[in-house]
Amino acid sequence: MSVAEAIKVTKFSELAFEEKLDRLAEVAVRVGLGLQAGQELIMSAPMEALPLVRRITEHAYKAGALLVTTFYSDDPSVLARYEYGPDASFDFAPTWLQDGIAAGFRSGAARLAIAGANPALLAKQDPAKVSRANIAMSKASKPAMELITRHEINWTIVACATPEWAKLVFPGEPVDVTVAKLWEAIFVASRVNVDDPVVEWQQHGGRLKKRVDMLNAKRYSALHFKSPVTDLTVGLADDHLWAGGGTTAGNGVYCQPNIPTEECFTTPHKDRVNGTVKASKPLSHQGTLIENISVRFENGKIVEAKATAGEDVLNRLISTDDGARRLGEVALVPHGSPIAQSGVLFWNTLFDENAASHIALGQAYSTCIIGGEKMDGAALAALGANESLIHVDWMIGSGEMDVDGIAADGTAEPLMRKGEWV
């Protein structure tokens, strides 16, 4: 085979769908998880993701996985609970199962989640029931989630196009067309549409690391976001640490926790956020679409929250606990990211948060505090890290957003202009 032929064969657009899927699976295992020989893998996936699950399982065993166990979810079965389940069902969660998963993580298992559920699945259900069910699940899964948010284990999330999700992203077209379009958008956003996705991810991770190192060297005390609709000062936690472009988990394995990822993120100070901010994209939260969020912060706390759709869901969300009204993450994403440039609204945080700079309500990442992995809740809170049952990202960046880094002496330095790094 000539060189020209070899290049032609590997051109992404000419690959069969099965081969494209295989590339995503390989990236999930080798880049996302960095799965080690002898490691167990615990996976969660929608039923429709079965072809991707099988490919990932193949790659996992090729990488030496000890055992791959997958838990499937099914949207119609979730709806059946809301239609026919007793009231007590909504305060219940399978703690025994979550404890088992946490035990698996503690004994060395890696975790992979496949996103793909219908983002509007619960839009027509009683928001009180949705909220109660979420709180019950958050409580039950806390031991497992803590191992994930503390990056004690290697974990990642990838996405699978599903018909209901695709219909929402590309409305008004035949379902096979929408699913194919969503798959293409996922492949491009996940950077598998290149000759060697594993090499591409090494380079992409390296570029993100450079930004993170620059931000960590600056030691800003705050960030100032300014656009025609936003004027927000986000104080950063004392001893905050910027992260992005992969992380070495507590078990020593280097992983990319989100595929795709375009963000540099850190921990805000829970008491030092002031001003007004408007979301630049709708937020899809656990089945409901919240549109045109507009919020005012005073000394870290949301004192006013509005939305043109889903306002009741937003209010319930920020009433989950005291920390739900405060920020646990602030992230910078350039407007030139492939996801922003695609112009596609995915109605899924995994993608949409990588299209724009964003903030997250709720739980902070202890890994975004110097030495945070080894601190208890009180020590983290003393530095300004927020604590909550929730962690919900929403997008505030746009092509009109300017961001300044504010030094301890109050001087401002331009970081982003019109959505791009200076």
CB of 158 to Zn ion, least distance (A): 16
From 71-79, 114-122, 236-244, 331-339, span contacting Zn ion (CB under 5 A): 331-339
- Near Zn ion by CB under 5 A, which window of 48-56, 258-266, 304-312, 333-341? 258-266
Picking from 339, 364, 162, the residue whose alpha carbon sits closest to that of residue 259 is 339
352 binds Zn ion (CB under 5 A): no
The nearest distance, CB 313 to Zn ion, in angstroms, is 18
Q: How far is the CB of 104 from Zn ion (least distance, A)?
A: 24
- Tell me how far, at minimum, the Cβ of 39 lies from Zn ion, in Å: 25
Q: Are strands 68-73 and 41-46 parallel, antiparallel or unpaired?
A: parallel
CB of 257 to Zn ion, least distance (A): 10
Angle between helices 17-27 and 50-62 (to 10 degrees): 50
Contact pattern from residue 265 through residue 284 relative to Zn ion, giving x for each residue in contact according to CB under 5 A and a dash for the rest: x-------------------
Q: Tokens in use for 84?
A: 């026919």
Tokens 């404890």 locate to: 99
Whichever of 253 and 360 has its CB closer to Zn ion, that residue is 360
Binders of Zn ion in range 112-131 (CB under 5 A): none
Q: Which is nearer to Zn ion, 152 or 312 (CB)?
A: 152
* 63 vs 392 by CB, closer to Zn ion: 392
Minimum CB separation of residue 395 from Zn ion in Å reads: 10
- In the list 26, 262, 329, 404, the residue contacting Zn ion (rule: CB under 5 A) is 329
Four-CA torsion 268, 271, 273, 274, nearest 10 degrees: -170
What is the nearest approach in angstroms of Zn ion to the Cβ of residue 119?
Answer: 16
What is the rounded distance in angstroms from the CA atom of residue 11 to the CA atom of residue 22? 14
At 406, list the tokens. 């504010």
- Tell which residue, 57, 64, 31, has the closest CA to residue 42: 57
- Number of neighbours of residue 311 by Cβ within 10 angstroms: 16
The SS3 assignment for 219 reads coil
Give Cα separations from 297 to 212, 265, 408 (angstroms). Answer: 26, 20, 21
Q: How far apart are CA 291 and CA 395, in angstroms?
A: 11
Nearer to Zn ion, 387 or 393 (CB): 393
Q: Which span sits near Zn ion by CB under 5 A: 10-18, 292-300, 356-364, 404-412?
A: 356-364
Would you say 22 and 30 are in contact if contact means Cβ atoms under 8 Å apart? no
Single residue of 41, 189, 331, 380 touching Zn ion by CB under 5 A = 331
Total binding residues for Zn ion by CB under 5 A? 7
Q: Which helix (H) or strand (E) holds 162?
A: none
* Amino acid at position 101, single letter: I
- Our finding on whether 360 is near Zn ion (CB under 5 A) is yes
- Binding to Zn ion by residue 393, rule CB under 5 A? yes
Residue span binding Zn ion (CB under 5 A) among the ranges 58-66, 264-272, 367-375, 401-409: 264-272
Nearer to Zn ion, 260 or 310 (CB): 260
b/e per residue, 148-164, with b = 16+ CB within 10 A? bbbbbbbbbbbbbbbeb
**Contact residues for Zn ion, defined by CB under 5 A:** 263, 265, 329, 331, 353, 360, 393
